């Protein structure tokens, strides 16, 4: 089976995907960004000692991620503007002391919400960086990846170690 880039027309020009013939279905996507903070910064956040001028770090990142997901089509060329049914950001710290930012977006639509989930997780990670950079610039946004999606042509679920 030959795959083609979906946003390139027959003449090789950029083109928005025509979703008009597709049927609506419930679609979800979850993306994850991982942020590595210096131990002293992470300890201050976890003990609730850091309240920067912009507000509590993780709560502000949650708001920023949701706002970012809602603005995805303004940021990514040819991305369909979507009215999300739901968007949720969860922030936790794993046993490796990595900050895990999961963004789950959902909609009943003719197109998926992977880009919204990826954008939400990324904007939340950037917000954590922005709010903590006064304490240290030794912050790494390690990765952002799609964890799962449902609806549309096929579902996808990444293995936890993948």
Phi, psi of 125 (to 5 degrees): -65, -45
Beta strands in 49-117 (DSSP E): 51-52, 55-56, 86-93, 99-109
**Is the Cβ–Cβ distance between 103 and 18 less than 8 Å?**
no
- The catalytic site residues sit at 130
The backbone torsions φ and ψ at residue 12, rounded to the nearest 5 degrees and listed phi first, read 90, 15
> Which class for 85: exposed (0-12), middle (13-18), buried (19 or more C-beta within 10 A)?
middle
Virtual CA dihedral for 142, 78, 81, 149, nearest 10 degrees? Answer: -50
């Amino acid at each position: 089976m030959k795959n083609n880039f979906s946003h390139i027309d027959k003449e090789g020009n950029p083109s928005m995907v025509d979703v008009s013939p597709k049927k609506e279905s419930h679609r979800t996507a979850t993306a994850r960004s991982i942020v590595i903070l210096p131990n002293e910064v992470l300890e201050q956040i976890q003990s609730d000692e850091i309240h920067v001028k912009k507000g509590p770090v993780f709560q502000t990142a949650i708001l920023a991620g949701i706002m970012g997901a809602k603005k995805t089509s303004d940021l990514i060329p040819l991305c369909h503007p979507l009215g999300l049914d739901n968007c949720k950001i969860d922030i936790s710290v794993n046993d490796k002391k990595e900050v895990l930012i999961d963004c789950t977006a959902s909609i009943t639509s003719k197109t998926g919400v992977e880009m919204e989930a990826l954008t939400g997780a990324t904007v939340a990670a950037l917000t954590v960086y922005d709010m903590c950079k006064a304490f240290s610039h030794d912050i790494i946004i390690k990765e952002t990846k799609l964890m799962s999606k449902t609806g549309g042509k096929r579902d996808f679920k990444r293995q936890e170690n993948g």
